Structure formats: structure tokens, C-alpha cells
Amino acid sequence: MEWKSSTALWRSNWNTAGRLARLGVHSRHGGLQCLQPCLLPHQRSASTGSKILVEMDNSTGIAVLTMKSPPVNSLSLDFLTEFSISLEKLELDRGCRGVILTSVRLDIMEMYGKSPEHCGEFWKAVQEMWLRLYGSSMITIAAINGSSPAGGCLMALACDYRIMAENPKYSIGLNETQLGIVAPFWFKDTLVNTVGNRAAELSLQLGLLYSAPDALRTGLVDLLVPEDKVLSTASQTMTQWLAIPDHARQITKSMMRKPTVDRLLASREPDINNFVSFITKDSIQKSLRVYMERLKQRKP
């Protein structure tokens, strides 16, 4: 990743929340479209490719990962690979203590009409994304500025804290059963760890997509704010987390999450094989096709 500094001059007393709030604007697709920011000398900007913009503020230790995979910021194989590389580099950056992520959703086309080899590569990339995010020593906050079904919900669940926009058009949940597929055990474990066993059972069996208020009541998200306040609130919340000594927080986080991470690490290959065997079945491919056709019919 090549980091670059800007020479643009801004007032030195401009606070962090204000800077972060100006990094993006909401698009009609429900995602976050990044404006070209003017950075202070202590800020660094890097694009690891065409799908993710990484912006690091050295003065705060906060990085913002803005997803740029239009039109709906989908979790494609390329995106997942790029995301894992970006997160790994931030993890190795001693100056980075926290990461704010914007919302994404799973790319169904990565599972439809693809070869077993491609499906295997895709699922390995999904695993890698979750392992790096759920097991990260950094503070991770999800800024949910759009609908986050399936893999997008998983990414949010893998974060330490979730802030969602109050918008009646947005929903979040592990809705895999609606597509005719089954959420793997580590999806289930992550959800159970967040909302409890009974709520997770109902959510997974019914493939529920929750509105923002319902997601808050269920415990799927931690805070609802007006849409134009999501990113700035994430910055303010991050400041509260940064006040905790890193070593104590990191050990506590590892203690809570390591058993869940270890379960997948012990069975990555069997999990990939199970996914490929399941997703390439004719009946499952038919279910995916029917679901995609329904989505097309909903579009104006």
C-alpha cells in the first residue's frame, strides 16, 4: 500500500469528528460514496485498488475504510481479497488503534453459475475476511449506512460496535435461508455471541432482515443515529474506546472471541468443501436464480 500526504491547508483546530464526517455522502443506492478529501499533513490516504479507500489519521490512530464497490458495495472475491490485505496492513501499523468500516453486502453472483474452484476461492476469502476482522486486536466500529444482508451483516457483527442509520429503507440480518442456503457454523456462532441463542435461532431459521429499530431491540446493532451523523458518531464512539488501555482491552477481546475463532481455524478446509458441495447443487443454484429474479422484479 502506498501512503500519500496532502499539502492542503485546513484550520488546525478542526476536530476529528468533523473531519471524518466530511469524508462521505450518502448515495441513492444506500452506500457511502467517498468525496475526495483534503487531508491534514498528519493524515494519510491510500487506495489499495478500485474497491477500498483507506484513510489514516496519525494524530488519532483511527483509520476509515470506505467501501467503493458500486452500485451496492458488494462482497465480491476481489473486494474480499483487497479488504483482507488492507486490514492486515493496518494491523501491522503500530500507529493504528481503531478502524471504522462502512457497510457492504454479499455478492450473490459470486455463488451463481461459478465453477467449484471459484466457489472455493470465494469462500476462503470470506473466511479470511471474518478471521481478520473478528480476531483483530484493533477497535473496529461498523458505520452502517445502507442495507447489510448476509455477508454484510456478518462483517458488521465481526466488529466491536455497530452504529446504524435511522432509515426505513435499510435492513440488516443473516437472511441466508431466504436464498435457499445455510449460514455456516461460524456465522451462527458470531450471531449467538451477539444476540443470544434464542434470538439467533429465530433469525437464522427464518432468514430475518431487521429494520433499524428492530435491529436495535434485538441487539444486532448498538446505536441508531440520523443518516448524516453515522460516520461522525462512529468517530466520537471510537474516542471513548481509545480511552481504554490497549493491552487490557485486547486481552479481554481475545478471551471473549478466541474460542469462536479457533473453531473455524480448526476446520477451514472441511468448511470450504461443505460450502462448495452445497452451493454447486442444482437445487441450490435454482434457488439462487429464483431469488435473483425476485430482486429484479422489485427494482423500479
Active-site residue flag, 90: no
List the domain range (segments joined by +) for residue 114.
Answer: 16-298
176 included as an active-site residue:
yes
Q: Which one of 106, 174, 209, 264 is the catalytic residue?
A: 106
pLDDT digits over 240-299, tens only?
Answer: 999 999 999 999 999 999 999 999 999 999 999 999 999 999 999 998 888 888 877 765
Q: How far apart are CA 126 and CA 106, in angstroms?
A: 10
> Is 6 within the bounds of a domain?
no
- Check 73, 145, 167, 175 and give the catalytic one: 175
**What is d(CA 89, CA 65) in angstroms, rounded to the nearest whole number?**
12
**145 classed as catalytic:** no
**186-238 per-position pLDDT tens digit:** 999 999 999 999 999 999 999 999 999 999 999 999 999 999 999 999 999 99
1, part of any domain = no
In a domain, 130, yes or no: yes
The answer to whether 116 and 136 have CB atoms below 8 angstroms apart is: no
**Whole-number mean pLDDT of the chain?**
83
CATH number at residue 292: 3.90.226.10
Encode pLDDT of 83-125 as tens digits: 999 999 999 999 999 999 987 666 788 888 999 999 999 999 9
Query: What is the 8-class DSSP label of residue 7?
Result: -
Helices (H) and strands (E) in the chain, counts: 11, 14
Indicate if 106 belongs to the active site: yes
Burial of 205 (0-12, 13-18, 19+ CB in 10 A): exposed
| CA–CA distances in Å: residue 202 to residues 172, 174, 177, 199, 237 | 14, 11, 11, 5, 30
Residue 5 has pLDDT above 90, yes or no: no
Residue with cell 465481526: 158
Residue 245 falls inside a structural domain: yes
Split into its structural domains, the chain has a count of: 1
pLDDT of residue 108: 80
Choosing from 30, 120, 151, 180, the catalytic residue is 151
Catalytic residue among 133, 176, 179, 264: 176
pLDDT of residue 107: 74
In a domain, 10, yes or no: no
Q: In what order do the strands lie in the sheet with 139-144?
A: 43-47, 52-57, 62-67, 98-102, 139-144, 161-165, 223-225
Provide the terminal-to-terminal Cα distance of the chain, rounded to the nearest Å: 40
Please report whether residue 70 resides in a domain.
yes
Q: Which of helix, strand or coil describes residue 223?
A: strand
